[in-house]
Chain A
Amino acid sequence: MSTIEIRDLTKNYGKTTALSNVSVTFKENCIYGLLGRNGAGKSTLLNIISGRTFADSGEVIIDGVNATGNDSALCKVHLMSEQLLYNPSLKVKDMFKTASFYYPDFDMEYAMKLCSEYELDTNRKLSKLSTGYRTIAKAVNALACGAPIVLFDEPVLGLDANHRDLFYKHVVNRYSERPATYVISTHLIEETAGIIERAVIIKKGEVLFDKDTDEIRSMGYSVSGKAADVDEFAKGKELMGGDALGGLKTLYVKGSLENADIPEGLSAEPMNLQNIFIQLTNS
């Protein structure tokens, strides 16, 4: 089992509320996308789950055990964050060795294989790596650690398109070989849309919803055409938002496209995850 239950988590930084009564469950062996705008509270949530910072109130329960200050629960979690908590003077291979002290299932052979695929020199010190390669080193460490719960906070920060693509493939391959609970916090929604099974969307410190990605995609559709026709079609329908350009208009309508009776002259298509995210989180 490797389930995380978040119960009524609240965290304030001075007068700023980072998380407000957040309750969400990350079920075992599932790839989650943790989505939210800048400052929504994603990193704070991941840091609290992994015990790097502490909530003002609420609980993090890992496999039925309160994780706050509890090693037996925390050792099931590995967080790959933007911050580098390993000593920057360590070589990449020494970082892996260090992680292997803590995670008995650390797969050194797999880590080395990934490093060679990314062309990452394991004899280089972490402090001497570029931002992108340091991200790769941390990502490889997280994928190889063997923890049943792996949290990724902006795992592709500074990576070029090729490395980002490679990373997503490695996540999927690793997940199929060795299922675990992965939570990926990212701003690159469309890139990760293909690998995440469920999405948790956070807005201003509160969970907007937690649904399967297919279910989210079926939440709405877009209708485009002449502004007057689109407005006529939208009458009485629940809208998420819209865009207008000259005399053309696009509206994002809540509901299933299959049940929608689209008039001639208008074009309709299912919304992608990023579009739905943007419409739901626009203030």
Chain B
Amino acid sequence: MSANSIIANCKYQLYRLRSVPLFYLIWVIGSMLISATIRSLTEKVPFSLRETGQNGFDALIGIFIFAFMCANITDFFNTAAANGTSRTTACVSAYISSVIFSIISALEVSVIFPIMSLITGDDEMWGASLYGVNYVLYDEGWSDFAVRLRFLGIAIFSYIALCAVVILIASISYKLSNWAALIITLLLIFIPTGGIYFALGEDALASFWCSVVKLVGLADLVDPSSDAPFIGNASQGAAVFIGASLILLLISCLITRRSSVKPLAIKGS
């Protein structure tokens, strides 16, 4: 692995993702306009952007990040291979790019969200509120800046973990044939859901997911011990997200270390 190769990979990867922040903005404006138009037509009320905001906009961006990384990750591996870079470097670079991309995306959310709330008059309800709603945090003495920083941090770390999942899935599909990769990916999805249910029963499945929720710092959500307003353990969540992402990265590097290249198909060829 060399610094020059990592920088070159990151440059290309971020170059490919450069239009995504613009997409977020277009999405927000477009969805507000469409909502207002539909409401105006169906409810026969004057066109207004009031109450056209989106709760959990940061979570929606997480889904977009997942989708955009899925769409580009094989290209990242191939372009690296085409230009004298090892597969391990490609994985590490994709991870570094995803960290930068996550930070940029979360910062954009933190700018767009308040503006959207201002225009629509809706409350700014972050997906990160799962770790404690803003007014509860205010009551607990948190400043507005600290609350925003907390939301921002949770968003960034969860995005990084999502990107690491994409890198892992891409590594599997890069190493194996398409069918084998599909089967392995489906198994990875099935085992923590239906697999546990069928093998060990409903209680085991509930217990598994409760443990996951506790692990990411949301213990009180599944095991409320008092009537106190809920504030999750955001730092534990962030640590788990980053730790899990690093483990996934390590597995991805090991999987792809000696994978032959898998070029993208050219339509019509």
Contact = CB atoms under 8 A, between A and B. Distances in A.
Contacts of B89: 71
A79 B263 CA distance: 14
A202 B16 CA distance: 40
Contact of B267 (A54, A127, A131, A147): A127
Interface string B202-229: 0000000000000000000000000000
Given A52-B261, A54-B260, A83-B261, A77 B84 contact: yes
A78 B261 contact: no
Contacts of A79: 82
A86 B84 contact: no
Contacts of B8: 101-102
B258 A54 contact: yes
Contact of B263 (A76, A83, A102): A83
A103 B261 contact: no
Given A69-B257, A84-B266, A101 B11 contact: yes
B263 A85 contact: yes
Interface stretch (B73-81, B161-169, B237-245): B73-81
- Chain A interface bracket (under 10, 10 to 19, 20 to 34, 35 or more): 20 to 34
Contact of A50 (B84, B88, B265, B269): B84
B189 interface: no
Interface in A104-127: 104, 126-127
Contacts of B265: 88
Nearest to A87: B75
A279 interface: no
A180 interface: no
17 contacts: A52-B81, A54-B258, A71-B1, A75-B83, A75-B84, A79-B82, A85-B78, A86-B78, A86-B82, A87-B264, A88-B267, A101-B8, A101-B12, A103-B83, A127-B267, A131-B269, A147-B84
Interface of A: 47, 50-54, 69-72, 74-79, 83-88, 97-99, 101-104, 126-127, 131, 147
